[in-house]
Structure 1
């Protein structure tokens, strides 16, 4: 199967294919017709084996995470930046264009505006090394209602306003459709109106975070809306399958290519 004409889909192998080794998962991703894959922690993977497999399978690494250090705590900013430097090098090794960053949990007893200022200052400090490398850092809002109680950055509008203040072409947002459906809804309007600030998407059915066709979100319409904007990045399928993973991936690939 050729890659989708209007939308590039990526499979998060740490979620959809969590019971397989990374290389075996990559083989299944390619067999199901996807052009790209992604995973979370590069630092506990055999990157040489992944590189060899991606060249053989002609797959792209769409995104990996940077190290999980808080951006709202100034006491660990140096640790965050050191981890980011290592992550940029890993992304370069993998020819990966996007690093996904969580921002950390809110700090109890600390004014929210103070934490926001800290987050922005950290991203501004990170921006030059990102711009020099060409890698894009994409901060990710997460829902606090079900999956990430206490997380600082919940809504996409706040994420967009933060990166507007950072004002770097290499600092953007990961828009997780599942998380934002829970946190705010209105996903098509919110993502299409801010698509230039989005470097990566994640997708899963809601409720449950399972296959795309399970639940209240109509992904053919959502993906068509993304494609209509001219978005050129990847949409990552990041869900935990209820049914056979390979069959579900093939089914999704069959309609994604028609978007």
Structure 2
């Protein structure tokens, strides 16, 4: 093979040209995204990673562009009027809201007085989600009510969610009911332990109604995260992350080994999404998002 006067072969020269072209395509990205855009293997992990919309102040089109460059495949917790923007960017919506309400968390299926409103919202949203390719829709267990203990609340949740499960199944949608902590962030929330959520799931026994297992919240309430996930993976449809304490980065500043947790989830052949839901403490939030992505790439 011939060489130029500087001793570079044609193959080497072509290689440099390809490298330069690739660099030009990523040079406009911030350093955090550029590292991952240049490393195709970074996006080839076994878990589908998403980011909760509320964690970033960036306009949604910009957020889509920058997350896609890092390797994320979806954005989480979006309202119906935001779904098209994400879909048009080439990303997926990993979780949709059925309604905009200030009492969205507090108003759940644990109280029969809420069922009519919640069912109407879901009956409206589920066909829209199917049309938009949004496979998961969030709902809540709700805050405690006088006279409704855990046993009655479980029965109420089973009764209410069982009414909407057939429509979810018909449309290929999974309703994800979130477990939250009642110790720090959501005082009074009734679905604050995995056992409560699993009891509801067993009562419904539908592949279209699952738990949203928020790792941050359950670490605060009960710990033993990996064992709990392994024992209950059949009832879990979605994951959220967040550093404990403080709900910041999932790095060495907090008490959980998220790389080990991600590996445990992937080893269970989990096919859903793991969505990062923390408040970045670093000056560059996208550096935090990129680090979280790397941590959970297994």
TM-score of the superposition, structure 1-length normalised?
A: 0.91
Structure 1, unmatched stretches of 5+, are: none
Alignment partner of 1:204 out of 242, 247, 261: 242
SS in 1 for 2:96: strand
Alignment partner of 1:151 out of 172, 189, 201: 189
Is 2:174–2:208's contact at 8 Å kept on the other side of the alignment? Answer: yes
Q: Which moved more, 1:180-189 or 1:93-102?
A: 93-102
Alignment partner of 2:94 out of 62, 66, 86: 62
Aligned residue number for residue 230 of structure 1: 269
Is 1:11–1:238's contact at 8 Å kept on the other side of the alignment? Answer: yes
Deviation at 1:4, TM superposition (A): 3.2
How many Å separate the matches in 1 of 2:224 and 2:196? 15
Is 2:83–2:93's contact at 8 Å kept on the other side of the alignment? Answer: no
Is 2:109–2:141's contact at 8 Å kept on the other side of the alignment? Answer: yes
Alignment partner of 1:168 out of 187, 206, 219: 206
1:33 and 1:121, CA in 2 relative to 1: closer, same or farther beyond 3 A? same
SS in 2 for 1:63: coil
Structure number with larger C-alpha Rg: 2
Deviation at 1:46, TM superposition (A): 4.0
- Which digits, 9 at most, give the CA deviation of each residue in 1:195-249, with x for residues without a partner? 1211100001000001111300110111011111111111000111001111112
How many Å separate the matches in 2 of 1:225 and 1:110? 36
Alignment partner of 1:130 out of 168, 188, 206: 168
Aligned residue number for residue 129 of structure 2: 91
Q: Following superposition of structure 1 onto structure 2, how do residues 109-124 of structure 1 map, counting pairs within 5 Å?
A: 109-124=147-162
Is 2:179–2:192's contact at 8 Å kept on the other side of the alignment? Answer: yes
Is 2:172–2:208's contact at 8 Å kept on the other side of the alignment? Answer: yes
SS in 1 for 2:65: helix
How many Å separate the matches in 1 of 2:235 and 2:108? 22
How many Å separate the matches in 2 of 1:71 and 1:147? 20
Is 2:150–2:196's contact at 8 Å kept on the other side of the alignment? Answer: no
TM-score of the superposition, structure 2-length normalised?
A: 0.79
Structure ranking higher on relative contact order (CA contacts 8 Å, 6+ apart): 1
Deviation at 1:251, TM superposition (A): 2.2
Is 1:13–1:26's contact at 8 Å kept on the other side of the alignment? Answer: no
SS in 2 for 1:65: coil
Aligned-CA RMSD value: 1.6
Alignment partner of 2:114 out of 65, 76, 83: 76
**How many residue pairs are counted as aligned between the two chains?**
250
How many Å separate the matches in 1 of 2:277 and 2:125? 21
Is 1:207–1:216's contact at 8 Å kept on the other side of the alignment? Answer: yes
